[in-house]
Structure 1
């Protein structure tokens, strides 16, 4: 099965302009850009996989080509990473069997997350897209709840049906539970991880669908699939002790570097 892994990257981030080019120092003391570390993470995915960086910025193109990445130039009008992936796939001929969106701000994404998405989407003909979820333990759930009490968004949660097709994604903590959980206790709350695998037909249609009210309110691009009647497969994955975090703000740099320093030297 042919797979295209697209790393969408834009320079003009409202929260962190120039984010893809920020330098991160790994366990060996070597400094590499965020986009390079995300590209290297994508290269670890097993199978018949092609990895490309999709951007609308010349600075990112030059940097990516400098470390050996294939680059697809996309338009400045893409509203999110899914639209950028759709444009990149079309530019490359639109013939891949599965397209993966590995976001350019998530260099710690384990390769087995992506491999699980590809496998389960291939086995679920009714799903247009697949995305990973992690079951929260009590510690993680209590952290999410504390963030919400403080007015912060601590992460996205997901609920799904018996077929593991998504019912909803939210930046609120869902489902509600009145139970008190210990730090190590499993809970009914699942943390959504922002990686996506798409069937090409649904991905191609996505940019033509209007932004729905739920997508706009939550700020979650995957809700456009649900609002247009397309099944999203939630794939439960295991962290295997791996820490990961997305780089959204300047203060996340130190957090990610600390996590990298605790991993096997790379």
Structure 2
């Protein structure tokens, strides 16, 4: 079973243009671009046969090549990372059994999150897509609420059935709860981590489907699968002492830098 890991990255991000080239300071004071830190995270994943950056922008291409990454140029017509992964897989000859989408705005993604997805697809032959979910601590949930009160579009939450099949993903905090949780307490809210593992048939079909109303309203690419009644398997992962956050807004830069410092990531 051959596994491809794609890091889709674009310069014209709606919420934070140019974020792929934003520099983030690590624990030792070293500054690396977001796309470099995402590449570093990808190289820590075990069981991956090939890693590529998929982009439509020459600036991102040049930065990626400067630190030795393989780059696949994709079209500007790609609406999201899943479509970019599909185009990259097609350009590489569609020879892989599993394609992983490690989005270029999640440099804190631990390698075991990705490894769990690949294992889940091996263990569930009927699953077409797998994605990780992380149970929120009281501290993380408070951060979600802070973002909403400030009018920022922050992290995504997920709800799923007892079989792990996704019911819905949202930029709102779901399920609704009025409880206050201590910082280290576990909550009933799950943070959706923007990583995906696809079987090639599902990935190839995705660009042929029109975006539905839910995807358009929420701005969440994975909802296209649910609107087409294609199952998405949610795989619960453990933080193992690691913090996780995506870079969605300029305000996330100091938050991620603080996490890099606290975890000792250079």
Find out whether 1:136 has 2:151 as its counterpart: no
Correspondence 1:1-266 to 2 at 5 A: 1-266=1-266
Structure 2 unmatched ranges of 5 or more? none
Asked if the contact 1:127/1:230 (under 8 Å) is kept, the reply is: no
TM-score by length of 1: 0.94
The question of whether the paired residues in 1 share the 8 Å contact of 2:155 and 2:246 is answered with no
Check conservation: 1:135, 1:189, Cα contact below 8 A.
yes
3-state SS of the aligned residue for 1:113? Answer: helix
CA RMSD of aligned residues (A): 1.7
Cα separation, partners in 2 of 1:213 and 1:77, compared to 1, 3 Å: same
CA gap 1:137/1:258 in 2 versus in 1, 3 angstroms: closer
Q: 1 CA distance for matches of 2:191 and 2:34?
A: 23
Deviates more, 1:248-257 or 1:121-130: 248-257
Deviations 1:72-102 (A, max 9, x none): 0000000000000000000001111111111
Cα deviation digits, residues 163-208 of structure 1 (max 9, x gap): 1010111112222235454433322221111111111100000000
User: What SS is found at the alignment partner of 1:135?
Assistant: strand
Query: Which TM-score applies when normalising by structure 2?
Result: 0.94
String of CA shifts for 1:5-57, please: whole Å, max 9, x gaps.
Answer: 10011112233222212222222222222111111110000014311000111
Aligned residues: 266
After TM superposition, give the deviation of residue 127 of structure 1 in Å.
Answer: 1.6
Q: CA deviation at 1:239?
A: 1.0
